[in-house]
A and B are shown apart, each in its own frame.
Chain A
């Protein structure tokens, strides 16, 4: 698919279409914007939307924010000539991500938890980086570093339209499925003026939202909420960590619509296709249809229930899907998604 001069993006509960101009930045990155449209609701009758953040922040920071790795550890990535400012990428108020942009781990994104002048310590998402085949040296694999989105930077405060409150039962909620398969709920706490976790009121303004994370936004406000995101269009293959048992909520990761057939989900190593009783499932939310579940019968994607062939079921840009897997293994697998467009034409 060729990205047109205007990037059409349908996002969120209202499924509205936003046309965004695409321009070429000095780094030749293709940038644009995505409009998240979240339906109006009421406090007593909230509505949900699924959301993802498919655009990346500009590559910024001191030192070599792009380059090649010279060595790799279990949780560390090194560029011996990087010249980074110690701690610059791991400040809680401005967390950063590093993305692998070449080699067999292309598309993997890691949160930077610490850094010194030459080395990054990252959240390796449960797998040693040594096992990913990342090349090092003068022909080593490449990377880029950029700021991460957080709950505060994406959703703002009541001044931006979100509904805050003294507890999660009266406020809008941001719900994120964590690596353990548990849904974390956040809301804007008006007394403290911060996003907090519903379970323990911990300040969560700086909770990172990864580009491949799926989010459920529960809206109680009586007006629609429009959030405009700007950023770089992904320009490599995407690789997303998926749990081998239970639920994983993943973002659509692309600023264009995809389908079940093109999602790459069927190709996940160990994905179970076959009879409905044993097959893994994908759940997609529609504001008008509710949750719909799908499974792959070995030939086609099928809808759970009426058994409708659903290969072309859309996964709208900027939304999220839930993968529900029946396995019992506690480890993870990688979902590889090829870039669904060509930025070079």
Chain B
């Protein structure tokens, strides 16, 4: 028994890593007309509205005269987040804003407490899935996503063109490894007891 312990530990670790590498993200929302409530796209994304929503994506070209943003309440039940949270945004930046380079995705619970993650527009040039850490923002987030918002930091006269496909929450590898490791240990213990 004692000689086998290191080997079992290594086995658990390897299995956990394998589990982590195949961690499946949980979709918070798609951006298409068939996937969610109608988007609330405000300010200069409205004046004039320059968005195109397909069944699975939304494309927006703005900002012309003032600030813009996107907000959407989830059509389905709230999406529960694991902790700590990382979100993944899949999209394509067609043209970069001329000045400020970042934007935020803000997640709201049902009581409007928020988490916030920052992305770089340039990361999505040509299409990409980009992850970012969520940080506490306003109030005490209850762990469930009821709505989300794209928040802009650029100058009012900047223009940006982008297409978004999907927003998902991704369990961090370390968390998955811990959960996976604990699961494997539990499995091995049960097997050992079964042999005894």
Q: Which of A247, A249, A289 makes the CB contact (< 8 A) with B151?
A: A289
Please report whether the interface of chain A is mostly helix, strand, loop or mixed according to DSSP: strand
Closest A residue to B103 using CB positions: A290
Known contacts A247-B66, A285-B67, A324-B66; A45/B101 CB under 8 A: yes
Q: How far is the CA of A33 from the CA of B195 in the complex (A)?
A: 82
Known contacts A246-B65, A285-B67, A308-B112; A322/B99 CB under 8 A: no
Stretch with Cβ within 8 A of A (4 or more), from B11-19, B41-49, B78-86, B178-186: B41-49
Name the interface residues of B147-179: CB closer than 8 Å to any CB of A. Answer: 147, 149, 151-157
Interface residues on B, range: 20 to 34
Q: Tell me if A48 and B100 are in contact (CB < 8 A).
A: yes
Q: Tell me if B153 and A293 are in contact (CB < 8 A).
A: no
Which B residues touch A177, using CB under 8 A?
A: 65, 156
Min CB–CB distance A328 → chain B (angstroms): 11
Q: Does A191 contact B (CB under 8 A)?
A: no
Q: How far is the CA of A306 from the CA of B137 in the complex (A)?
A: 15
Q: Tell me if B43 and A306 are in contact (CB < 8 A).
A: no
Q: Which of A45, A216, A291, A292 makes the CB contact (< 8 A) with B102?
A: A45
Q: Map CB proximity to B onto A301-339 as digits: 1 under 8 Å, 0 otherwise.
A: 000111010000000000000101010000000000000
Q: Does B104 contact A (CB under 8 A)?
A: yes
Which A residues touch B30, using CB under 8 A?
A: none
Q: Tell me if A290 and B47 are in contact (CB < 8 A).
A: no
Q: Does A281 contact B (CB under 8 A)?
A: yes
Q: How far is the CA of A221 from the CA of B156 in the complex (A)?
A: 20
Q: How far is the CA of A249 from the CA of B112 in the complex (A)?
A: 28
Q: Tell me if A48 and B153 are in contact (CB < 8 A).
A: yes
Q: Tell me if A48 and B112 are in contact (CB < 8 A).
A: no
Q: Does A157 contact B (CB under 8 A)?
A: no
Q: How far is the CA of A283 from the CA of B112 in the complex (A)?
A: 19
Q: How far is the CA of A274 from the CA of B155 in the complex (A)?
A: 28
Q: Tell me if A290 and B104 are in contact (CB < 8 A).
A: yes
Min CB–CB distance A51 → chain B (angstroms): 13
Q: Which residues of A contact B (CB under 8 A)?
A: 44-48, 169, 173, 175, 177, 181-183, 185, 216, 218, 246-247, 249, 276, 281, 283, 285, 289-293, 304-306, 308, 322, 324, 326
A-B contact pairs, 11 of them (CB 8 A): A44-B101, A177-B65, A183-B156, A218-B100, A249-B156, A283-B43, A290-B103, A292-B69, A293-B42, A293-B69, A305-B42
Q: Which residues of B contact A (CB under 8 A)?
A: 40, 42-44, 47, 65-69, 71, 98-104, 108, 112, 147, 149, 151-157
Nearest 10 A/B pairs, CB to CB: A305-B71, A291-B67, A183-B157, A290-B151, A247-B66, A247-B65, A283-B67, A304-B42, A290-B153, A322-B66
